[in-house]
Amino acid sequence: MVDFTLSDEQLALRELAHDFSANEIRKVAAEYDKDGTWPQDIIDKSHEVGLMNLHAPERFGGAGLSFLEECIVGEELAWGCSGIATSMGANGLASAPVILGGSEEVQEEFFGELVAEPKLASFCLTEPGAGSDVSSMRTRAEKKGDKYVLNGSKCFITNGTYADWYTVYAKTDPDAGHRGMSAFLVRRDDTIVIDKKEDKMGQRASNTATVTFNDTEVDAKYLIGEENKGFKLAMMTLDRTRPGVAAMATGIARAALEHATEYSKERVQFGVPIAMHQAIQFMIADMATKVHLSRLATWHSAVLLDQGNRNTIESSHAKRFASDSAMEVATDAVQIYGGYGFIKEYPVEKLMRDAKIMQLYEGTSQIQRLVIARETLLPRRAEAPATA
C-alpha cells in the first residue's frame, strides 16, 4: 500500500521549516534579491535551529533525516526564497559523494565540522567547456607520492566564494573520457582562487562563482571512492539530490500559485473579481494540478531512496516535471497579475526569474529527458519497474 501520510514528527518538521521560511526568509527575500546580498545571517540562524545539514549522519552529530524529510523541508524553504534555500542546502549536494564514497575517518572530519559550525561546502563538477558533457572536463589531478595535485577551473559553483570545503571532480586519466574521472574532498587554502561571482537573473541571494585550483595539494585520503570511478559517483550523487531540486521547484510553484490565487480574488475587472472568470479559473486549476503532481513525483522518488531502491528514472521524472512546472506556473502567475506581474514591486516577477534555473542546474530538462528515454527504451531487466 502506498501511503504518503506524514507522521507527527514529519508534520512538526514541516511546521518548523515553514515558520522559519515565513519569519526569517520570505520577509527579506525581495531585499536580498535586489542587491544579490549574501544571506549569512539567515544561514547562521538556520544552522542554530537545525535546518542545515539535514543529511549529516546521526553518528557524527547530524539529524540523519530521510530523503523524504529533506524534500519536505526543501519545499518549505524554497516557498520562502529558493535562492536563500539553495545557499542553505548546497551542503547536501557537496556531501552526498562523501557519504557514498568517503572513508569513515574523512566523513567524521568533514561532517563533524559542518555540524559544529555553519560551515559550507561546494560541489565542483561543471566547467566552462564541460556542462552536460562532463567527460569533456579539463581539470586534472596528478598523483605525486601520497598526494594529488589539482589544476583547473570550475564554473557556476554554488556557495563557491564562501565554501570551506569543495567536492571536486578531476581527470586522473585524461585519455579515458568519463572513465578517467575521480572525485576529491578539498579543504580550502591559498591555492584556491575565486575568479568571478556571477550576476544572475534569478536566485540572486545564492552565491555562484568560478573556482580555480592552482597546484592545490590534496592528501590521498581525500580521494572519494576509487580512482577513475568519479563519473559513476557523480551520477549516483545526482540520483540522490534531484528529488531535493524537484522539492525546491515545487516550493516555487506553490508560492506562485498562492500569490496568483490570492490576487485573483482581490483584483476586480468587469465588475467582479477576476477569479470569477472561467479563463482565470482554468489557469488556477492547471497550476494547482502541476503543484500537486510535482510534489507526488518528488516524494515518490525520495521514498524509493529511503527504501534502498534505485530511483534513476523516478528522480529524472520528478526533476524534469517539477522544474518545468515551476516555470509554467510562475509564468501563469505573472499573466494573472497582468501588467502588475511585470513590476518588481509584486512577488511573482521574482518567482518567474527564480524558476528558470530549476530547468538548468543538476541536469537540464533535456538531459532528464535523455535519462528517461534511455531508462524507458533500455530498462534493466534484473530490476522490476518501480511504479506508483
Q: Which CATH number is 352's domain given? A: 1.20.140.10
**Based on the domain organization, do 238 and 361 belong to the same domain?**
yes
Q: 167 with 122: CB under 8 angstroms?
A: yes
Number of folded domains that form the chain: 3
* Of the residues 99, 116, 133, the one at which a domain ends: 116
Q: 98 with 167: CB under 8 angstroms?
A: yes
Note the pLDDT of residue 385: 44
Determine, yes or no, domain membership for 168: yes
**Based on the domain organization, do 255 and 347 belong to the same domain?**
yes
Report helix angle 82-101 to 230-266, nearest 10.
Answer: 160
Which segments within the chain are labelled E, that is strand?
Answer: 121-124, 140-144, 147-158, 165-171, 181-187, 192-197, 208-219, 223-224, 268-269, 272-273
Note the pLDDT of residue 9: 97
Catalytic amino acids?
Answer: 362
Note the pLDDT of residue 120: 98
Determine, yes or no, domain membership for 385: no
- Give the side-chain half-sphere CA count within 13 A for 100: 26
Q: Is 83 left (phi over 0), alpha (psi -120 to 50) or beta?
A: alpha
Determine, yes or no, domain membership for 384: no
**Based on the domain organization, do 239 and 361 belong to the same domain?**
yes
Report which residue type is found at 210: T
* Of the residues 94, 116, 138, the one at which a domain ends: 116
Range of the domain at 22: 8-116
> What gap in Å lies between CA 43 and CA 32, rounded to an integer?
13
Task: Write the DSSP string, 203-259.
Answer: -TTS-EEEEEEEEEEEEGGGEESSTT-HHHHHHHHHHHHHHHHHHHHHHHHHHHHHH
> What gap in Å lies between CA 186 and CA 166, rounded to an integer?
5
**pLDDT under 50 in the chain at which residues?**
1, 382-388
**Based on the domain organization, do 92 and 18 belong to the same domain?**
yes
> What pTM was computed for the model?
0.95
Note the pLDDT of residue 386: 44
**Based on the domain organization, do 371 and 237 belong to the same domain?**
yes
DSSP state of 3: -
Helices (H) and strands (E) in the chain — how many of each? 11, 10
> What gap in Å lies between CA 149 and CA 57, rounded to an integer?
30
